[in-house]
Amino acid sequence: MSTIENLNEAFAGESMANRKYLAFAKMADKEGFGQVAKLFRAAAAAETVHAHAHLRVLGGVKSTEENLQEAISGETLEFNEMYPAFIEEAEKEGNKQAVRSFDMANQVEQIHAGLYTKALENIGSNEEVDYYVCDICGNTVEGEAPERCPICEAVHSKFQKVD
């Protein structure tokens, strides 16, 4: 493998470890193991440092406009190609939980592409907008959280404001 391939693999691995450790921390908190949860969050933060370093070496962080364009492209690929194929396979296998997980993510990726497109169109306007994310499906909304999530029907309190 080349160094670039190794950097890409390391970036993916560190990114995945970060998300996994944050999920582990939530479970540790839920089970009353606050100190273990804290350790998982610390390790997750370190994995983020590693992932960001690898991405910088890869030249993966560009101008905000270029980053928005890449984000639009990535989200569009996910909702047009990746998730529909995943949903189809999960349906063939009868895995209803996977179908639901993929379907919710697919719907949210479309929303993300739209939000990124809007941000690109308004770049430089510095208009202040609040964003809320549903803890159940990841639905991302501007302005105010809805009373019920239109994707998963979660209640208003399941939306977290992003700072």
Answer yes or no: are the C-beta atoms of 90 and 99 closer than 8 Å: yes
In 40-125, where do the E strands start and end? Answer: none
d(CA 122, CA 125): 6
Query: Which residues lie across from 133 on neighbouring strands?
Result: 140, 160
CB 79 within 8 A of CB 103: no
Burial class (CB within 10 angstroms; exposed 0-12, middle 13-18, buried 19+) of 129? exposed
* Structural domains in the chain plus CATH codes: 3-57 (1.20.1260.10), 63-127 (1.20.1260.10), 128-163 (2.20.28.10)
Query: Which pTM was predicted?
Result: 0.90
Per-residue pLDDT of the chain (163 residues; tens, 9 = 90+): 899 999 999 999 999 999 999 999 999 999 999 999 999 999 999 999 999 999 999 999 999 999 999 999 999 999 999 999 999 999 999 999 999 999 999 999 999 999 999 999 999 887 899 999 999 999 999 999 999 999 999 999 999 999 9
Give the pLDDT of residue 3: 97
- Other beta carbons within 10 Å of 122: 11
Q: What is the pLDDT of residue 127?
A: 83
